Amino acid sequence: PGRPNNVFPLVQETYPGDPYAEAAAEVVPTYFAYSGSGSVTAEVVYANYGDRKDYAYLASRGVDVAGKVVLARYGDIHCEDMVRNARDAGAAAAIIYTDAKDFGGPAAKGKQKWFPNTRWLPPSGVQVGTLYYGNGDPTTPMWPSCAAGEDCERLSMEELDASEAMPGIPALPVSGRDGETIQKAMGGGVAPPEWQGGEGAPVYRIGPGPAVLNLTYIGNDTLATIENVFAVIEGKEEPDRYVIIGNHRDAWTFGAVDPNSGTAAMLEIAERLSQLEKKGWRPRRTIIVCSWDAEEFALIGSTEWAEDNIDIIGSRAVAYLNVDISVFGPGGLVPRATPQLDELIQEASRMV
């Protein structure tokens, strides 16, 4: 009684003049894939970046997380680890937000400091993700899946819910604005300096309460058929040796960076290979270009293809080149590879 009530819309706002505002209106409310379903009403405990050491610190301050809703911010570890740590600490649910300190950009005088004026996340921006602690179709761990409606061995929903790979508690991603609203309602001891927000943020407190969150998430457990797409150019000298280049094409929303910057580059490569092939060129080894589906839901498309073709890949694949995110941020070349490709990457970068 007497407490202010806040309802969070879980919608990322467009900006004035946004040419894609109509399409953005069709985006579903922000959520975590594979979150546990349920309703929780409980006091909030602030857990910084949601790492294990953060829960150890809360325990040292006498803050009991059991049965509470954990509020944590992105920054140190991935969302599935954050929710898993909250569950292991006894939390009933978790809220993950994007703090302006880490994602809102440096202070800017006289102008809006976030997209579209700069590359930083707007106050209503949300980072979503998957909470499954594994790769591939969760119902077929370590063996190939099949199309929806076809007959193949799967875990039951009961087995899946009981799996350690699933989060086990309801969790939601929210914006920096929503996270700050919750922070303003927090009480308890003051959080240490390294747990605080950026310039202009309220004083962060660890709780528990007096803020109480009423969180309800009901997941839609659906089996659907996905489609990988392949293009193959057979090698002239070593047709049984495969060089594979791939990227996923699904995205949580529009995917400007992840995956479409990589997809644009991959399609340009494919077009030029096609032009060369029409002129009579053939590569030394077989080239396979792959467009993976359902990557955002724990690398399903690529994992299931690999599980279904593991013997062939193991005996014939020479290299795999992944081009998920090829352009982002202020620039610079940041390749990641096994050491065998170090010199090749240097030679290729000199050429361009």
* pLDDT single digits (tens) 149-179: 888 999 999 999 899 999 999 999 999 999 9
The distance of Cα 352 from the centroid of its chain, to the nearest Å, equals 31
The CA distance from 118 to 195, in Å, is 26
Sheet with 229-233, strands from edge to edge, namely 229-233, 285-292, 238-248, 317-322
Q: Is residue 108 predicted with pLDDT exceeding 60?
A: no
**In a 10 Å sphere around its CB, with 0-12 CB exposed, 13-18 middle and 19+ buried, how is residue 10 labelled?**
middle
The CA distance from 140 to 154, in Å, is 5
Cα angle 229-233-234, degrees, rounded to a multiple of 5: 125
- Give the global pTM: 0.91
- Residue 1's pLDDT band, with cuts at 50, 70 and 90, is very low
| Mean per-residue pLDDT, 261-273 | 96
pLDDT for the residue numbered 124: 93
Domain segments of the chain as ranges: 20-132+167-217, 229-350
What is 116-165 written as a DSSP string? TTSSSPPTT----EE--SSSS-TTSTTS----TTS------HHHHHT-TT
33, amino acid identity? A
Fold of 20-132+167-217: Glucose Oxidase; domain 1 (3.50.30)
Q: Is residue 119 predicted with pLDDT exceeding 90?
A: no
172, amino acid identity? L
The residues assigned a catalytic role are 295
Selection from 196, 173, 197, 215 nearest residue 43 by Cα? 215
329 vs 305 pLDDT, higher one? 305
Identify the sign of the CA torsion 267, 268, 271, 273. Answer: negative
Peptide bond into 283 cis (omega under 30): no
53-93 pLDDT, tens digit each: 999 999 999 999 999 999 999 998 999 999 999 999 999 99
The CA distance from 58 to 83, in Å, is 16
Q: Is residue 264 predicted with pLDDT exceeding 90?
A: yes
Q: Outline where 193-287 has alpha helix (H).
A: 260-278
Fold of 229-350: Aminopeptidase (3.40.630)
